[in-house]
Structure 1
Amino acid sequence: MNLFQPLMNEKEVQTDDGEINESQLVNLINLVCSNQRWLMNTVRSLLKKYCYTSMFIRFLLLLIKTLRTLALQSFALITSSASSSTSSSSSSSLSISNELLIIGAGQMRTGTTSLKFALQLLFNQPCYHMYDVIYKYQESHIKKWINIFNMHQKCVNIDKANWNDIFNECKFAMDYPTCVFYKELMNIYPNAKVILTIRDADSWISSCRATTASDMVMTKHITFTENIIYRLRGLKSLPILHDKMYTKAFGSNYDQMTDDELKNAFIKWNQEIINYVPKDRLLIFDPNDGWKPLCEFLNIPIPENVPFPHLNKRIDLRNSLLKYRFLAQFLNFSFIISFLWFIHYMITS
């Protein structure tokens, strides 16, 4: 029985819950900006109370507004990617039992974002991805995942209700944190197929070191200003989740691994999946191969005149990370200057 065919046959078209629509975007932006409005009002009232100069007030408020602008730009980038990738979808959706049908076991930077949107194009069903954790669910799901990791570490049984609470209406899940639990998820969802996205190891390490495995992300040492940025983005506990994800995937010394060690860990990861997953449940998939192997594996027709999505290019993600690093360094410098100015003001007043 092909579990994926009903997803293609339902005639009634519903809104794709996996897509970041306008109302969700507004809610997310309001959530981020509400923290900044509170901070702006607090700074303004405190500075006025202690009669500091208006120039200093404007300086601090400018810093906070910069955070707000950066947050808005990030949401716009993700939303534009989602819209451009899903607008050409002619597939329909179907409400079926709360079962995960596809488990993505591939590592980061192997085309998981492209696969996410490809599945959404095919089935018009939401696909759970790290992007959803960061840009849609944020702290609420970060805490759920941290709880999952803690339960696993304590050898506490993680039942189907725990997983359904995370994936909810999603029929597909991939990328971090999902991929590090592919074995557990295969047992919970015995009908689910597994897709291992692959990439040349040298190309993978080069891409990771420029983005998700750079010292900006794969680190256990978060600065004070980076913590502020995480809080303003609604991602207070994300560094904790990063640590637990990478520890489970690569070991506790992940932040000290050389390029060769990380590359070997990547090769070992892929081989372990190939050895563990039954062949009839596994697709080893290179997104550069396009629709054919994916659709043949799912036993569905190849979409006509619809290009396979290739998203989350290295340069785009790298530029986004560099913006946050620049902002963190700018805030560090600004706090030092502000502190020195405050000392000078107190001495001379």
Structure 2
Amino acid sequence: MDKIGNQGKVFGLGLSKTGTSSLTDALNLLGVKSAHYPHDERTYDELRSGNYRLSILEEYDGIADIPVTSYFAQLDGEFPGSKFILTVREKEAWLRSCEVHWRLMMEWWHNFPQFKKFHEFISAVVYGTIDFNRDRFAYVYDAHVRNVCEYFKDRPEDLLVLDICGGEGWDKLCGFLEVPLPDAPFPRANEWMHLLMQAAQEVAQIVPAGETFILVDEQGFGSDFARGRRPVPFLERGGEYWGAPSDSETAISELERLRVEAGARFIVFGWPAFWWLEHYAGLHAHLRSNFRRALENERLVIFDLRP
């Protein structure tokens, strides 16, 4: 990164769901240590107080996504010699992706209060709303692209407009940063929401419509997960999540109770809860010994509990 000044950084100015995770992964592969969507308490306090000399940039050389999207002019002043990358996307596809992303995110963010607090703040800054609003988001998308391009119109060497979702990648990015092409495919980040949507589709393929299944997900998937089927949290009391079991014996007892009382026909472990399969080794052994494993991949492990 010899072409970037001593104080210079790389900022990904794209809005949500424009490939900012992929951009972050790509920058890291190029040796630009970058953070995607930092939402720590210190960054929150600094942005709220108008301090754009962000402390996180003492450790990182790049940031992408909406924590920096609206502050490009201030960051340009604080970090002379920086490079700016505006990721874009076909607008209708972007709006559809944002709508799904917001709906799913608002199902689970109550389990992550720091993230929720930060996102409510930065969403209000960037979009002028906390909830998804199609007309407002469409307006913000057009205005943001226009404003960024206008700001850098006389400095084309400092701004790259990149359509990662449309297939652009190393050629444009490496040419802009003046670095060699890496011997690796351009990353296409499989973000949480993409994983969640894939997982929901896989559950729908295995668990018949109308069936009850036990869902072990660390309360991360939201109540809207696997529509048309009835997920039961584990452990469970009165249909509500009751916390993790104390040991494998308790887990096995509760599993068998839910098979009888709730009619659970499957148990689904989502990737946030994969640690259960090691920590509760007795439960895992019980499942392997007595039930068919219907699916195992990087997103889900599903056992068929039917006789």
Q: TM-score band, normalised by the shorter chain?
A: 0.5 to 0.7
Alpha-carbon spacing, 1:207–1:168, altered in 2? closer, same or farther (3 Å):
same
Partner of 1:115: 23
Tell whether the 8 Å contact from 2:44 to 2:118 is kept in structure 1 after alignment: yes
Counterpart contact for 1:180–1:245, Cα < 8 Å: no
Shift of residue 188, structure 1, vs aligned partner: 0.3
Instruction: Report how far residue 142 of structure 1 moved.
Output: 2.1
Give the partner amino acid of 1:245. I
1:159/1:203 Cα in 2 relative to 1: closer, same or farther (>3 Å)? closer
**Do structure 1's residue 293 and structure 2's residue 172 form an aligned pair?**
yes
- CA RMSD of the aligned region, Å? 3.3
Letter in 1 for 2:34: C
Selected match of 1:129 from 36, 41, 49: 36
2:138 is aligned with 1:263: yes
Letter in 2 for 1:240: K
Aligned to 2:122: 245
Q: CA separation in 2, counterparts of 1:144 and 1:205?
A: 31
Change (3 A) 1:317 1:182: farther
Gaps of at least 5 residues in structure 1 are 8-95, 134-140, 153-157, 231-235, 340-349
2: distance between equivalents of 1:338 and 1:292?
Answer: 51
Deviations 1:50-73 (Å, cap 9, x if unpaired)?
xxxxxxxxxxxxxxxxxxxxxxxx
Q: Secondary structure at the match of 2:14?
A: coil
CA shift, 1:146, in A, is: 2.2
Residues 242-251 or 180-189, more deviating: 180-189
Query: 2:2 maps to which residue?
Result: 5
Q: Report SS of the residue matched to 2:161.
A: strand
**Alignment pair present for 1:324 and 2:221:** yes
Instruction: For 1:334 and 1:295, locate their aligned partners in 2 and report how far apart those are by CA, in whole Å.
Output: 51
Q: How many residues align?
A: 213
SS at match of 2:85: strand
Letter in structure 2 aligned against 1:276: Y
Query: Following the alignment from structure 2 to structure 1, what is the Cα–Cα distance between the partners of residues 178 and 162?
Result: 15
Number of the residue aligned with 2:150 = 275
List structure 1 segments (4+ residues) > 4 angstroms apart after TM superposition: 319-323, 327-339
Using the TM superposition, give the Cα deviation of residue 116 of structure 1 relative to its aligned residue in structure 2, in angstroms.
1.1
Distance in 2 (CA, whole Å) between partners of 1:298 and 1:338 is 51
Q: Distance in 2 between matches of 1:169 and 1:103?
A: 14
Q: 1:119 is paired with a residue of what secondary structure?
A: helix
Cα distance in structure 2, aligned partners of 1:177 and 1:267: 18
SS in structure 2 opposite 1:325?
coil
When normalised by structure 1's length, the TM-score is: 0.53
Secondary structure of 2:59's match? coil
Q: Is 1:147 aligned to 2:45, yes or no?
A: yes
- 2:131 is paired with a residue of what secondary structure? helix
Alpha-carbon distance change, 109 to 290 in structure 1, aligned in 2, over 3 angstroms: same
Distance 1:334 1:295, change over 3 A: same
Q: 1:330–1:186: structure 2 CA closer, same or farther, 3 Å change rule?
A: farther
Q: How does 1:186-197 map to 2 (within 5 A)?
A: 186-197=76-87
Alpha-carbon separation, structure 1, partners of 2:234 and 2:135: 33
Q: 1:338–1:265: structure 2 CA closer, same or farther, 3 Å change rule?
A: closer
Greater CA deviation, 313-322 or 179-188? 313-322
Query: Is the 8 Å Cα contact of residues 105 and 175 (structure 1) preserved in structure 2?
Result: yes
Distance 1:176 1:149 in 2: 12
User: How many Å separate the matches in 1 of 2:198 and 2:184?
Assistant: 28
SS state at 2:223 partner: helix
Measure, in 1, the Cα distance between the counterparts of 2:175 and 2:94.
Answer: 26
Q: Tell me by how many angstroms 1:320 deviates.
A: 7.1
Change (3 A) 1:182 1:128: same
Return the structure number with greater helix share.
Answer: 1
Which residue number corresponds to residue 41 of structure 1? none
- Cα deviation for residue 306 of structure 1 reads 2.0
1:183 corresponding residue in structure 2: 73
Q: Tell me: CA distance 1:320–1:338, structure 2 relative to 1, closer, same or farther (3 Å).
A: closer
Q: How far apart are the structure 2 equivalents of 1:338 and 1:144?
A: 34
Change (3 A) 1:319 1:250: same
- Give the distance between the partners of 1:173 and 1:196, measured in 2 at CA: 12
Q: In the superposition, relative to structure 1, how do residues 226 and 108 fare at CA in structure 2: closer, same or farther (>3 Å)?
A: closer
Q: CA deviation at 1:332?
A: 12
Q: What's the CA shift for 1:192?
A: 0.2
- The verdict on how the C-alpha distance between 1:330 and 1:242 changes in structure 2, with shifts beyond 3 A counting, is farther
Give CA-to-partner distance per residue, 1:203-262, whole Å, 9 cap, x none: 111111122x22x43x5xx8xx964x32xxxxx3221111111110011x34262x2331
Closer, same or farther: CA 149–332 of 1 in aligned 2, 3 Å: farther
Check the 8 A contact 1:102/1:172 in 2, yes or no. Answer: yes
CA distance in 2, matches of 1:207, 1:338: 30
Structure with more relative contact order (C-alpha pairs < 8 Å, separation 6 or more): 1
